[in-house]
Amino acid sequence: MDETCYLGGCLCGGVRYRVSGTVSNPCFCHCASCRRASGAPMVAWGTFVRENFRLTRGSLTEYRSSAAVTRGLCAACGTSLTYRNDARAAEIDVTLATLDDPTLLAPQMHLWVGDKLPWMSIDDGRPQFTAGISAGPL
Q: What is the pLDDT of residue 1?
A: 42
Q: What are the two backbone dihedrals, phi and then psi, of residue 36, each rounded to the nearest 5 degrees?
A: -70, -40
Question: If pLDDT is split at 50, 70 and 90, which confidence band does 69 have?
Answer: very high
Give the three-state DSSP class for 87. Answer: helix
Task: Summarize pLDDT for 97-107 with one digit per residue, the tens.
Answer: 999 999 999 99
Question: If pLDDT is split at 50, 70 and 90, which confidence band does 137 have?
Answer: low
What residues does each domain of the chain span?
5-135
Beta-strand runs (E) in the chain: 5-9, 16-20, 24-29, 43-49, 53-57, 61-66, 69-73, 80-85, 91-95, 109-111
Kindly tell me if the per-residue pLDDT of 26 is higher than 70.
Answer: yes
Task: Give the pLDDT mean for 46-56.
Answer: 97
* Matching CATH number, 5-135, of 2.170.150.70, 3.40.1260.10, 3.60.21.10, 2.60.40.10: 2.170.150.70
Task: Give the pLDDT mean for 18-36.
Answer: 95
